Amino acid sequence: AQKVTQAQTEISVVEKEDVTLDCVYETRDTTYYLFWYKQPPSGELVFLIRRNSFDEQNEISGRYSWNFQKSTSSFNFTITASQVVDSAVYFCALSPNTNAGKSTFGDGTTLTVKP
Amino acid sequence: DAGVIQSPRHEVTEMGQEVTLRCKPISGHNSLFWYRQTMMRGLELLIYFNNNVPIDDSGMPEDRFSAKMPNASFSTLKIQPSEPRDSAVYFCASSALAGGQTQYFGPGTRLLVL
């Protein structure tokens, strides 16, 4: 069985602060994908990033960066210089390489960025 | 290219009525997923299809729920009869088998059963 844990239920920061959202996962699969999705107040689920278990390189996209560490089964997400528009619920998800139907989503972290 | 399309966006109905939610996946995607999101239970996978064939419906809460995918560009989720506890946001998502299992979500249908 696989599991995704987002221990931080809610985080509140002030604009321009950096914030890291934690994601820890469990799986018996040797190959898998990890994802982050954003759900803003408007309600849609927006895909942010996919990381293959083969690739432990960190990734940066603008103010967003992701740190994948297989040794600790973590896939953390950092927002640098947060903005009010970053306020949303962020979901981490895990999927076996061969079966998206077995995807597991974490419970989400609600990020509030105050002006 | 258009994303996943869902209709209606909002639905208010009375207990006992039939509700049909519709989804058009992204063109070329092979897999389609129906999820339900509530405050209490979070995001739950109800059923998913590969190449129009239902693969796993173990998440469907009970016989009142049914889903079909008659072709590659259309799917429905039906609740009959509806109950107040079915009130939730229902998301449809699609993915391409060659796309690294990335699921792209529709805007959701917000269902309220009175």
- Interface A–B counts its CB contacts (< 8 A) at 53
Q: Is the pLDDT of residue A103 over 90?
A: no
A16 φ/ψ sector (left φ>0, alpha ψ -120 to 50, else beta): left
Whether the per-residue pLDDT at B25 is higher than 70: the answer is yes
The DSSP secondary structure of B9-73, one letter per residue, reads SEEEE-TT--EEEEEEPPTT--EEEEEEEETTTEEEEEEEEETTEEEE-TT--STTEEEEEEETT
Least confident piece of the model among A6-20, A90-104, B17-31, B99-113: A90-104
CB B21 within 8 A of CB B109: yes
Q: Is the per-residue pLDDT at B9 higher than 90?
A: yes
User: Which residue in B90, B91, B102 has the most chain A C-beta atoms within 10 A of its own C-beta, making it the best mutation to test that interface?
Assistant: B102
Residue of B nearest to A42 (CA): B107
- Identify all chain B residues contacting A50, using CB atoms and an 8 Å cutoff: 100-102
Cα of A101 to nearest chain B Cα, Å: 6
Q: Which SS3 state, helix, strand or coil, does residue A7 take?
A: coil
Does the pLDDT value for residue B98 go beyond 70? no
Residue A85's pLDDT is 96
Greatest alpha-carbon pair distance for chain B in Å reads 42
Q: Give residue-wise pLDDT tens across range B29-87.
A: 999 999 999 988 889 999 999 999 998 888 898 899 999 999 999 999 999 999 999 99
Whether B25 and chain A come into contact, CB under 8 Å, resolves to no
Confidence of residue A106 (pLDDT cuts 50, 70, 90): very high
Q: Outline where DSSP puts E strands in A1-115.
A: 3-5, 10-14, 19-21, 24-26, 32-39, 46-52, 59-61, 64-69, 74-79, 88-96, 104-105, 109-114
What residue of A is the nearest CA neighbor of B38? Answer: A107
Interval A33-73: pLDDT, tens: 999 999 999 999 999 999 999 888 888 889 999 999 999 99
**Facing residues of B76 across strands?**
B22, B68
Q: Establish if A31 touches chain B: CB-CB under 8 angstroms.
A: no
pLDDT at A10 over 80: yes
d(CA B33, CA A71) in angstroms, rounded, equals 31
Q: Which of A33, A44, A95 sits opposite B105 (nearest CB)?
A: A44
The two structure tokens encoding residue A109:
């972290």
Query: How confident is the model at residue B2, as a pLDDT?
Result: 83
d(CA A81, CA A75): 20
What's the pLDDT at A108? 96
Q: Nearest chain A Cα to B46, which residue?
A: A101
Q: What pLDDT score does A101 carry?
A: 73
